[in-house]
Structure 1
Amino acid sequence: MELVPRNPTDGVYPATDDYVHAMEVRGAERMLFVSGTMGLDPAGKPGSSLDEQLDLIWSNIRVILASADMTVDNIVRLTSYLRDPAYAEANAAARVAALGDRRVPTTAIVATTLDSDWLVEIEVIAAS
């Protein structure tokens, strides 16, 4: 599989350093669509803080990816659902920490979650 970042600079606003406008996926044999993943521990209890929930989210995403023999390196698209716009900076920092120097197309949306204790949900698309 080959990933080709598509990040035009003419005719469109510039992407910031932590994402790209688009990712072309060539030669993928498998796609994995991960539903909105919350910051819940294995018993289903939400983390007590935003940082704890973000840690749990990324741990949960890693476990889900591993079940398909994938890692965060296979993520090609990410959408974050934030309960409050004030969570954007911490969410971006957690994403950058999880993905390292890999930049993928990403969107953050402010939304009311189904449970008020769920501060962030993240869904991903992965390919291999």
Structure 2
Amino acid sequence: MELVPHNPTDGVYPASPDYVHAMEIRGAGRLLFVAGTMGLDPAGKPGADLAEQLDLIWKNIRAILASAGMTVDNIVRLTSYLTDRADAEANASARTAALGGRPVPTTAVVVGTLEDGWLVEVEVVAAG
């Protein structure tokens, strides 16, 4: 599989270093669509704060990817849902660390969640 980032510079605003406008996937045999993943522990309890929830989210995403024989290196698209726009920078930092600095097309949206204690949810698309 080959990943080809597309970051045009003419006619569109520039992407920041932590994301790309588009990712072309060549030769992928599989696509995995991961539902919004919460910062919940194995018992379903949310992390006490944003940092703990982000840590749990990425542990959960790694476990889900592993069940399909994939890793975070297979992630080609990511959407974050935040309850507070003030959490955007911490979320971006956690994403950048989890992906080893590899930029992917990314969107963050501020929303309400189903439970008051849920601070962030992340969904991904992976290809392999």
TM-score, structure 1 normalization: 0.99
Gaps in structure 1 of 5+ consecutive residues: none
User: Which residue number in structure 2 is paired with residue 73 of structure 1?
Assistant: 73
Structure 1 position 7, deviation (Å): 0.6
1:57 partner SS = helix
Q: Alpha-carbon deviations, 1:46-105, whole Å to 9, x = none?
A: 000100000000000000000000000000000000001011000000000000121100
User: Which residue number in structure 2 is paired with residue 9 of structure 1?
Assistant: 9
User: Which residue number in structure 1 is paired with residue 100 of structure 2?
Assistant: 100
Is 1:110 matched up with 2:106?
no
1:6-45 equivalence runs, <5 A: 6-45=6-45
User: Which residue number in structure 1 is paired with residue 119 of structure 2?
Assistant: 119
Give 1:121's aligned amino acid: E
Give 2:102's aligned amino acid: R
- CA–CA distance in structure 2, aligned partners of residues 114 and 30 of structure 1: 31
Is 1:64 matched up with 2:56?
no
Once the two structures are aligned, what percentage of the paired residues are identical? 77
1:14 partner SS = coil
Between Structure 1 and Structure 2, how many residues are aligned?
A: 128
Give 2:100's aligned amino acid: G
- CA–CA distance in structure 2, aligned partners of residues 83 and 26 of structure 1: 35
- CA–CA distance in structure 2, aligned partners of residues 13 and 30 of structure 1: 31
Structure 1 position 116, deviation (Å): 1.0
Give 2:51's aligned amino acid: D
Give 2:34's aligned amino acid: V
TM-score, structure 2 normalization: 0.99
2:24 partner SS = strand
1:89 partner SS = helix
Structure 1 position 127, deviation (Å): 0.2
Gaps in structure 2 of 5+ consecutive residues: none
RMSD: 0.4
- CA–CA distance in structure 2, aligned partners of residues 18 and 102 of structure 1: 7
